[in-house]
Amino acid sequence: MKLSAPVYALKRQARQISRRERIPLHEALDRIAAAEGFRSWAQLAGRHADQALVARLYPALRAGELVIVAARPGQGKTLLGLELAVEAMKQGRTAVFFTLEYTQAQMLDRFRAIGVDPFAFDDRFDLDMSDGICASHIMERLAGAEAGTLAVIDYLQLLDHRRETPPLMDQVRALREFAQRQKVVLVFLSQVRRDFEASGKALPDLEDVRLPNPLDLSLFTRAAFLQEGQMVCRSL
């Protein structure tokens, strides 16, 4: 069955409905799926999976990596980060999601949006919503993490939101050394500058990452950029 629009566009429609009507995202997605002739979003996604993004990115990740996933709002970087965490847990790893953007209820809604029961992974998932998220907090939280643990930081720029924290460059450098020493994977979701949309480029690149303060992006080992359901990923 052919969809009326690509999966990424249907997700965007669902997010708009969710915000406009103040209903959970998974309900909005199921409504979109019903309009496309499916019983649920999970059935639609299973038939027309854009999980190819996760299938491309996750197997390439190695212990000790620092990964940046960047996109404009509404392009699915948060869901991709969550799907990476889910894939890690399917492989028997532990996953941690650091965020100032989402509440626990909203995160459960995001799990439902990708057709996943978060309680199916026992104690392998942890949501950290601390107001003090920064490099030192992340390292303290992951100090005892087993090799292969995947942590998602939503988002890179939040490390720079408090004056009392060290410069962003110092924080990322410390996290790189920590990831290599601890053999964990750190995935940073990142904002992309607004002027990208007028650039004429099909996909963002490193020049489009929004940086309020200086940061050497070569500290990251891998970068992925999303736009309109497409992804480019490369080693740095």
Is there a single domain that holds both residue 36 and residue 57?
A: no
How many domains are contained in the chain? 2
> For residue 40, what pLDDT is reported?
86
d(CA 41, CA 113): 7
Say what the pTM is.
0.85
Domain-embedded: residue 178? yes
For residue 159, the model assigns a pLDDT of: 92
Co-location of 17 and 131 in the same domain: no
Contact 31, 150 (CB under 8 A): no
Please tell me whether residues 94 and 166 are part of one structural domain.
yes
Same domain, 176 and 59: yes
Pair of tokens at residue 25: 């995202």
Asked whether residue 36 falls in the same domain as residue 73, the answer is no
Answer whether residue 36 is part of any domain: yes
Same domain, 41 and 57: no
Tell me whether residue 1 is in a domain: no
127 near 81, Cβ under 8 Å? no
Residues 114 and 25 in one domain: no
Claim to verify: residue 25 and residue 65 sit in the same structural domain: no
Instruction: Assess whether 128 and 225 both reside in one domain.
Output: yes
Order of strands across the sheet that contains 230-235: 125-128, 95-99, 150-154, 185-191, 66-71, 222-227, 230-235
Q: How far is CA 128 from CA 76, 132, 134, 142, in A?
A: 20, 10, 12, 11
> Which CATH number fits the domain that encloses residue 178?
3.40.50.300
102/77 same-domain check: yes
Q: Read off the tokens for 140.
A: 């303290």
Kindly give the interhelix angle for 104-113 and 77-90, rounded to the nearest 10 degrees: 80
Q: Is residue 93 exposed (0-12), middle (13-18) or buried (19+ Cβ within 10 Å)?
A: buried
Same domain, yes or no, for 112 and 33? no
Q: Determine the structural domain holding residue 40 and report its residue range.
A: 7-47
pLDDT of the chain along its 236 residues, tens only?
Answer: 678 887 878 888 998 999 999 999 999 999 999 998 988 887 787 666 555 688 889 999 999 999 999 999 888 898 899 999 999 999 999 999 999 888 999 998 888 877 788 788 878 999 999 989 999 999 999 999 999 999 999 999 989 888 899 999 999 999 999 999 999 999 999 999 999 989 999 999 999 999 989 999 999 999 999 998 789 999 99
Same domain membership, residue 195 and residue 119: yes
In a domain, 2, yes or no: no
